[in-house]
Amino acid sequence: MAKMSPSHARSPQIARFAFHGGIHPPEHKDLTRDRPIKSLPIMPHYVLPLHMHIGAPARAIVQVGQWVAKGQVLAQATDFISASIHAPTSGVIIAITEHPIPHPGGLAAAALILEADGEDRAGEPLPPWPDFTTKSATELRGRLREAGIVGLGGAVFPTAAKLATGGTSSVHTLVLNGAECEPYITCDDRLMRERPEDILHGAAIVLHMMGANRCLIGIEDNKPEAIATLLTASAQDTRFETIAVPTRYPAGGEKQLLKVLTNVEVPRGRRATEYGLLCLNVATVAAIYRAVVLGEPMTERIVTVTGEGIVQPENFRVPLGTKISDVIAAAGGYTAGADRLIMGGPMMGFALHDDEVPVVKATNCLLALRPQDRPTTPAPQPCIRCSLCAEACPADLLPQQLYWYARAKQFDRAVEYHLFDCIECGVCSAVCPSHLPLVDFYRFAKTEVWAQERDHSKASLARERFEFRNERLERIKAEREAALNKKRQNLAVNTAVAPSVATGMDTATMVPSAPASDEAFGEYRPEPKALGTQRPGDVGTEPVILDSAVEAACVRAKARRAALDAERAQQESKLAPESKSDLP
Ligand code: SF4
Ligand code: SF4
């Protein structure tokens, strides 16, 4: 890292810009902000879904019954946007089966079930690259892909793909997202306070990959310890600027943070990289550091276990695949009356159907609540067109319009109103005086649009397959016709020579015939004709010699048959007197 003298040590900057809308909900971070990150003991079983990231599911490359080492690749990325999955500990794969996953609909999906052997034996590590500056951006991207690194801020987008998207060569500023604006969650806060070097090293790797030399670290001002820690840790490096961001939800949204830190408003449908900016979560760059410098694949993440429904709220370093029930148990279990478990925060998280699902790469928080801990939600009333939702929407949308179109299932109109720019922050629902569950409608509309697109692409695929099949059959038919015609022509040429020449045998004696000579044909030189093309009644066609040969053979056969019949008749006439005497 570039060095500077201690005299250059800086104080935190204060963000000078603001994003549109937003709210300041109760923070509830006191429950865990001072709880250091703890490790969990090895659990008996781990459930590793093959699809823990955005993009194509990984493909299992291990067999049931196979012993695997900690860190071994269990499932490989199958596409450009996909991520590999590694064993969180050593043990035996006891099943590859459908298993419930953390999903708002309580869905099940293909997963590997690992039975731990308790030894936690590591396999062949990825080679550590302490001097990552000797590696090219391509090599480093390959390492991130190999290590299964995805964005840990909630998006779980494969990092290698994010760093490869077009235009990253023009990135001049890396923005580290340490805002952690959701109530209750403190895992990034604890990481920044406990492992600032991991974050700075990871950022340095990304700067090297991008050829950039400026890194802004945005942290909400409700985390003064994290701001101070990073400020101190980066004091010797001029590339880093730590900026205190006013606490306002959702300051941690990518576009909102970029606006606050740089005053750049990334328009709809455009990417931050087009403006020379790249935004990564602090936990993601820490994982990049561990993958590149230490050779560690992504096998764990930090999870805040919190809420008034938890006996002892904590921050845990949790191996991926650990059952949520085991994590809750490690935090002392549920308090009496806890009746809701949420994955994520209260604004953007979703309620889980049960806790027998695994921790995945997207699990940043487990929040257990009692009825008295959450605001009572009165029954929804009709929209009164007050526009409070539009005023508060940080994405500058018209939430009430989106609501009407989603509710009326006019999804194309909802898309026209930028449905997919909605970051599902929940601000509109929070401010709505009619208590409309607006975000639920947007999620429903998005799911429907995706389903329609899937159906459409399936239909297109089926049509393409059908057309391809027809083309293939036509081609095969044409090739067969051509081959048959060629064969017919060859046979016609051969039969035009002589029967004995065509077969190479004398048809009467069935011994090899003498080679035909021009003299053998005398005056008669038949035109070559394809076998089987002559039909009775054809005008102007010459007789085919092979047919004559067949006729001759038939005549001989008839003569032979007649001779045999005559012979038999003669023998019967000799026997006739004795036979007759036997008659009654
Ligand atoms: S805040 Fe609620 S009531 Fe007001 S316009 Fe928006 S959806 Fe309608
Ligand atoms: S959930 Fe969507 S529509 Fe509602 S405030 Fe957030 S971004 Fe705007």
- Give, for all 584 residues of the chain, the pLDDT tens digit: 444 444 444 678 898 899 999 999 999 999 999 999 999 999 999 999 999 999 999 999 999 999 999 999 999 999 999 999 999 999 999 999 999 999 988 899 999 999 999 999 999 889 999 999 999 999 999 999 999 999 999 889 999 999 986 556 789 999 999 999 999 999 999 999 999 999 999 999 999 999 999 999 999 999 999 999 999 999 999 999 999 999 999 999 999 999 999 999 999 889 999 999 999 999 999 999 999 999 999 999 999 999 999 999 999 999 999 999 999 999 999 999 999 999 999 999 999 999 999 999 999 999 999 999 888 878 999 999 999 999 999 999 999 999 999 999 999 999 999 999 999 999 999 999 999 999 999 999 999 998 888 887 777 778 878 888 888 888 888 888 888 888 888 877 766 654 444 444 444 444 444 444 444 444 444 444 444 444 433 434 444 445 566 676 667 767 767 777 777 777 666 554 444 333 33
The total number of structural domains in the chain stands at 3
Are 459 and 504 contained in the same domain? no
pLDDT at position 128, please?
97
Residue 446 sits in a domain whose CATH number is 1.10.1060
Residue at 567 is within a domain: no
* Ligand lying nearest the CA atom of residue 384: 1
Predicted local confidence at residue 565, as pLDDT: 77
Query: Ligand 2: which residue has its CA nearest to atom 8?
Result: 393
**Atom nearest to 392 CA in ligand 2:** 5
- With the most atoms of ligand 1 within 8 angstroms of its CB, the residue from 23, 393, 400 to mutate is 400
| Residue 21 alpha carbon, nearest atom of ligand 2 | 5
Ligand approaching nearest to the C-alpha of 388: 1
Q: Which of 373, 393, 426 is the last residue of a domain?
A: 373
Q: Within this chain, do residues 406 and 518 fall inside the same structural domain, yes or no?
A: no
Q: Is residue 569 part of a domain?
A: no
Tokens 């991926």, located at residue: 320
CATH code of the domain containing 203? 3.40.50.11540
Residue nearest to atom 2 of ligand 1 (CA): 432
Shared domain check, 244 and 137: yes
CA–CA separation, 261 and 218 (whole Å): 7
Domain termination residue (choose one: 358, 373, 388): 373
Is 202 in the same domain as 130? Answer: yes
Residues with Cβ within 8 Å of residue 534, at least 6 apart in sequence: 541, 544, 547
What whole-number distance in Å separates Cα of residue 179 and Cα of residue 253?
A: 9
* pLDDT score of 24: 96
Ligand 2 midpoint to CA 440 (Å): 11
In a domain, 215, yes or no: yes
Q: Is residue 321 part of a domain?
A: yes
Give the pLDDT score at 526: 42
Q: Domain for residue 578, yes or no?
A: no
143/86 same-domain check: yes
What range does the domain containing 505 cover? 497-557
What pLDDT is attached to residue 155? 86
Testing ligand 2's pocket by substitution, the residue of 182, 428, 431 carrying the most ligand atoms inside 8 A of its CB is 428
Q: What is the DSSP string of 28-57?
A: -GGGTTT--EEE-PPPSEEEEES--SSSBP
Which amino acid residue places its CA nearest to atom 7 of ligand 2? 422
Q: Which ligand is closest in space to the CA of residue 385?
A: 1
Residues with CB under 6 A from ligand 2: 393-395, 397, 399, 402, 422-428, 438-439, 442
CB 158 within 8 A of CB 145: yes
Q: Which of 476, 495, 514 is the last residue of a domain?
A: 495
419 and 438 belong to one structural domain? yes
Residues 122 and 202 in one domain: yes
Over its C-alpha atoms, the chain yields an Rg (Å, rounded) of 40
Pocket test for ligand 1, best of 377, 385, 404, 439 (most atoms within 8 A of CB): 385
Asked whether 387 lines ligand 1 (CB < 6 A), one says: yes
Q: Provide the whole-model pTM.
A: 0.77
Is 174 found in the same domain as 286? Answer: yes
Residue 579 lies in a domain: no
Claim to verify: residue 298 and residue 312 sit in the same structural domain: yes
Same domain, 443 and 523: no
Neighbours of 543 (CB within 10 A): 11
* Residues 160 and 33 both lie in one domain: yes
Q: Assess if residue 254 is contained within a domain.
A: yes
| 301 lies in the same domain as 192 | yes
Q: Which pLDDT value is given to residue 496?
A: 61
Q: Determine, yes or no, domain membership for 311.
A: yes
Residues near 280 by beta carbon (within 8 Å), at least 6 away in sequence: 151, 153, 159, 162, 174, 175, 176, 177, 203, 206
pLDDT at res. 404: 96
Residue with tokens 């809420």: 307
